[in-house]
Amino acid sequence: MRYPSIDLMRTVAICLMVIVHFVENLSGQKSYPWLPTGFAAPIFTFLSGISYSLWLNSQRSHGATEELISKRTVRRGLFLLGVGFAFNILVWMPDDTYNWDVLTFVGSAWLFLGFVRDLPAIVSVSICVMVFVFSPVMRVVADYPAYWTTGYFDCDMELSQVSLGFLVTGYFPFFPWIILPLAGYLIGQRMLVDGTDPPPSFHWLALAGASLMGVAWLSVRFRDQTPAVVQKHLLKGWTMFPPSPEYLLTTMGFVLLVFSLLHQWIDRNPRFQVHRAFAVTAASFSQHAFTMYLLHHVVHLWPLWIYGVIAGHDATHYWQTGTSLGTALTLAILFLVVAALFLRWMDRTNTPGMESLMRWLCD
């Protein structure tokens, strides 16, 4: 079953991702208040947990055994990890093989969800709380700033540093990012259940989301009144690298609130009619989110690398200096328009994307 609310959220995440990446990677601009940095990844990772829940229910409804589901989960997780490493090498550079980006994280998250899928909800919630509490401590122990001295994640090709990158210090480390897909899985398992009468209430979810955002606001508001050690190691303000408690609370609250409201207003409201063209476009973006993630990087980064080499420089010479802000934003919007047409062509002609390849290989 398709949920228009999920399609809409994933489409919004794709648009935010494209705009932010084009602007940051092409022009180097990061400080504009209107630039929606920091929201696309939480939406994607939260929805990856929702997706695993829906996929799991589909597998069970079609008679797949628990053993078969486990095998397919492992294959999918390893596929995402493998594509993630190939993406790091071919799109970024071999030096960034172990930067632990979104794809490698989502792959590890699927493996983890497959392992904990039958745990009692209270245990999974406790895991989320413990990860949230101990992740800042783990960053202190691992000396997180030592891996970001140049403004981006950089580690030596040593097992200890690569492992710490995966767990704590990388771009999207397992701790604390696993909170979002695990929360998405729990919500999908308990709220997106067909045939229940009355259907599960989403009011508590909206209240929980608003409460988390309120706590985050209070943390930011009164940060200056806390001890210096708290400001240095815990309440660091709005930072995605590292993902501060304020950032996690805000983005988690945001996705919970938005998901609950959209599900109530769109999925459960028979009087709500989404314009067909808009619904089809959102469904296309949502179904091909994996393909879009890879494609938009290739489209805007490879020309920079190629031009840098042709001009006689290092391949990354024009990274973040290649265009002006206006040009980068224009190219991002143009890409989204062309991508919408391209994805509709893929749907009409049944042209396979990365999603089809994953299903073919893993299911």
113: number of Cβ within 10 Å: 25
- pLDDT given for residue 285 in this prediction: 96
- pLDDT given for residue 192 in this prediction: 85
The 3-state DSSP class for residue 317 equals coil
163: number of Cβ within 10 Å: 14
The structural domains of the chain, with segments of one domain joined by +, span 4-195+202-362
Instruction: Give the integer Cα–Cα distance in Å for 70 and 348.
Output: 33
Q: What global pTM score does this model have?
A: 0.95
> Which CA distances in Å does 283 have to 8, 184, 235?
8, 19, 38
Residue 255, both tokens: 């996705």
> Which CA distances in Å does 5 have to 166, 184, 286?
31, 14, 10
- pLDDT given for residue 40 in this prediction: 96
- Average pLDDT for residues 304-332, to the nearest whole number? 93
User: Would the pLDDT of 200 be above 80?
Assistant: no
- Average pLDDT for residues 306-310, to the nearest whole number? 95
**With pLDDT > 70 as the criterion, what percentage of the chain qualifies?**
97
Residue 320, phi-psi category: left (phi > 0), alpha (psi -120 to 50), beta (remainder): left
Instruction: Give the integer Cα–Cα distance in Å for 128 and 179.
Output: 5
- pLDDT given for residue 230 in this prediction: 85
Contact 106, 48 (CB under 8 A): yes
Residue 5, both tokens: 């609310």
Q: In terms of Cα–Cα distance, which of 167, 165, 24, 17 is closest to 97?
A: 165
Instruction: Give the integer Cα–Cα distance in Å for 235 and 229.
Output: 9
Contact 199, 211 (CB under 8 A): no
Instruction: Give the integer Cα–Cα distance in Å for 189 and 200.
Output: 11
Tell whether the torsion through CA atoms of 106, 112, 117 and 120 is positive or negative. negative
271: number of Cβ within 10 Å: 4
Q: In terms of Cα–Cα distance, which of 289, 288, 292, 301 is closest to 328?
A: 301
Instruction: Give the integer Cα–Cα distance in Å for 68 and 75.
Output: 11
- Average pLDDT for residues 133-140, to the nearest whole number? 96
The vertex-143 CA angle with 244 and 220, nearest 5°, equals 20
Instruction: Give the integer Cα–Cα distance in Å for 358 and 356.
Output: 5
Contact 49, 184 (CB under 8 A): yes
233: number of Cβ within 10 Å: 13
Assign 234 a pLDDT band (cuts: 50, 70, 90).
confident
Residue 269, both tokens: 């409201």
Contact 167, 173 (CB under 8 A): yes
- pLDDT given for residue 197 in this prediction: 58
Contact 98, 88 (CB under 8 A): yes
264/36: higher pLDDT: 264
Contact 48, 109 (CB under 8 A): yes
The vertex-147 CA angle with 112 and 297, nearest 5°, equals 65
Cis omega (within 30 of 0) on the bond before 242?
yes
Contact 60, 346 (CB under 8 A): no
- pLDDT given for residue 16 in this prediction: 95
User: Would the pLDDT of 1 be above 80?
Assistant: no
Assign 137 a pLDDT band (cuts: 50, 70, 90).
very high
pLDDT in tens, 154-169: 888 899 999 999 999 9
Instruction: Give the integer Cα–Cα distance in Å for 343 and 285.
Output: 7
- pLDDT given for residue 237 in this prediction: 84
pLDDT in tens, 60-94: 999 999 999 999 999 999 999 999 999 999 999 89
Assign 195 a pLDDT band (cuts: 50, 70, 90).
low
Assign 58 a pLDDT band (cuts: 50, 70, 90).
very high
